[in-house]
Amino acid sequence: MRAGSGNGGGLPEEAYAAALASVPQVGPATLRLLLATDAPSAAWSRSSFPGDVARIWQRHEEKGIEVCWHGGPGYPARLENDPDAPAVLFCQGDPAAVSTHATVALVGTRSPTRYGIGVAAQFGADLAALGVSVVSGLALGIDGAAHEGATASGAPPIAVVAGGLDDPYPRRNARLWARVAEQGAVYSESPAGVRTEKWRFPVRNRLLAMLSDVVVVVESRYRGGALYTVEAAAARGIPVGAVPGSIRSPTSEGTNGLLADGCFPVCGVDDILTALALRGVLLPGGAGGAAGAVPGPGPGRDAVPGAGAQYAGPDRALFEALSSDPVSLDHLARVTGMDLPALCGGLERLAREGVARDVGGWWERT
């Protein structure tokens, strides 16, 4: 943990920032007012709130949770000029991760179709490989699939969650949460010990938009929660794209509606790269919206049977379940015991390595 600027009490300013954010009656707006003119320790002394600052600080230190406040060290530069920027931000991983690469939010429904899961995982993998950090909410469905793809390699993945960072939610994504924190960062406005309550999700979606250069909705119902992110992005002039879907699919009602309202269509990663370029966001190596920009297997990559020795865990099991005969996703799910987002993310990682490929919706080892 950072030592912080400190004060006469022996605790760093970060400790008082965490304590202020932990007061139940202090919401985001009140917290901004408290810290608008004072350092966290001065704001705490002036407020006379009850609470054990040392114990609150210890809880965050034990969980490896970084704490930063608006105007203090480590606070993301992307947020500094936003009038609704969180006064206090909590992070697991590298607090600077969101400031090192272009960022694209991939969001959508918690109950996606197989089509939506595959698109989210593919976009996540391709964008990360191009040096774009994928931002999402670590929820079930589209969010999880996007991060499964993004943790393959490349730019650090970024997650924004609603509750405290000491209690991963949903539990089914706990391992994915750990991978994102290890490779990039997981952010929250909620201090440790705070439950994931309903009202915190729209707040989370606002922050998700703030941290993104472009927002893309993969699948969403007509009144889906992802539309909170769209509203927050639109209010800030952040481009919003949507993946077209079947007019018969309820999970595409929201995205098709966004297209009708003027959001740009996303039929491939090149459409996202074009949106970034139009905003003046440059990628490593000058990658832009040209067709074929997504790199394939590089020279020297082993793409022959037997290459699976380099993989571990689920990816090893997935590689061994593949053969030269194409098999369905259902078959792979039964053999490996993986759920669909993890399965699609693993397949995209293997495809990126050049050892697996999609053949009309079926998968085979190359």
Give the model's confidence band at 85: pLDDT under 50 very low, under 70 low, under 90 confident, else very high.
Answer: very high
70's CB contacts (< 8 A; 6+ apart) are: 32, 35, 79, 80, 85, 86, 87, 88
Higher pLDDT, 3 or 279: 279
pLDDT of 214 strictly over 90: yes
Task: Give the integer Cα–Cα distance in Å for 106 and 103.
Answer: 10
pLDDT of residue 242: 97
Gap between the Cα atoms of 165 and 293, Å rounded: 36
Write down the residue that tokens 């469905």 correspond to: 141
HSE-CB for 222 with a 13 A CA cutoff? 4
CB contact at 8 A, 179 and 156: no
- β-partners of residue 134 are 104
pLDDT at 300 over 60: no
Residue 340: pLDDT band by 50, 70, 90 thresholds?
Answer: confident
Residue 188 contacts residue 161 (beta carbons within 8 Å):
yes
Distances (CA, A) of 351 to 61, 295, 335: 39, 11, 19
- Find the mean pLDDT for residues 116-126: 93
Q: Quote the pLDDT of residue 200.
A: 75
> Above 50 in pLDDT, residue 301?
no
Q: What is the Rg, in whole angstroms, of the alpha carbon atoms belonging to the chain?
A: 21
110 or 338: which leads in pLDDT:
110
Residue 233: its H or E element = helix 226-235
Q: If pLDDT is split at 50, 70 and 90, which confidence band does 312 have?
A: low
- Return d(Cα 326, Cα 187) in angstroms, integer: 40
Residue 360 banded pLDDT, cuts 50, 70, 90: low
Contacts of 80 (CB under 8 A, 6+ apart): 70, 71
C-beta of residue 47 within 8 angstroms of C-beta of residue 39: no
H or E stretch at 207: helix 200-210
pLDDT cut 70: percent of the chain above it: 89
